[in-house]
Amino acid sequence: MQIDERIRRARPDDVPAIVELVYALAEYEREPDACRLTATQLDTALFGPTPAVFAHVAEHDGEIVGCALWFLNFSTWRGVHGIYLEDLFVRPEQRGSGLGKALLTALAQECVKHGYERLEWSVLDWNTPAIDFYVALGARPQSEWTTFRLTDDALTALGS
């Protein structure tokens, strides 16, 4: 299994740079005001007593220029875990350098190493550059599924 030396697991001192990348992703996805992530929240999620999120970073000339944040999911039909990729982002000036593919390769390697049978993520319908990139890697859209989400007042009303 060949490892791309530009990609590595995130460390605690990477948290501020990863938060910056998440905010850049929110800007790219046309939702800058929706992002409320703090460094404290991310540090706890990644490195607290019970980590629930994991991350890989991409480096160029000693600077973090990309990241993949992910967590484990579980397929009841397959009976094994998989990886859900929450965020994948590479700074625009580094796109086309292979870092996006290298980040996805690192996650595929995690799947193979641990016997996980799925690597899944969502992409916005209008993001055709990303869609084309994913399809070129062999990923296939799951068009028969519709994502639902409860947040804010609706979540509070149902949970109260």
Q: Provide φ and ψ at 119, rounded to 5°.
A: -130, 115
Contact predicate 88/71, CB 8 Å: no
State residue 113's pLDDT score: 96
Contact predicate 57/33, CB 8 Å: no
Mean pLDDT of 38-58: 97
Mean pLDDT of 41-55: 97
134 included as an active-site residue:
yes
147 band by pLDDT with thresholds 50, 70 and 90: confident
155 band by pLDDT with thresholds 50, 70 and 90: very high
Dihedral sign from CA coordinates of 55, 58, 61, 63: negative
Q: Provide φ and ψ at 65, rounded to 5°.
A: -120, 0
1 band by pLDDT with thresholds 50, 70 and 90: low
Question: CA-CA distance, 69 to 77, in Å (whole number)?
Answer: 25
User: Mean pLDDT for the chain?
Assistant: 95
Q: Which of 23, 28, 116, 134 is catalytic?
A: 134
State residue 74's pLDDT score: 96
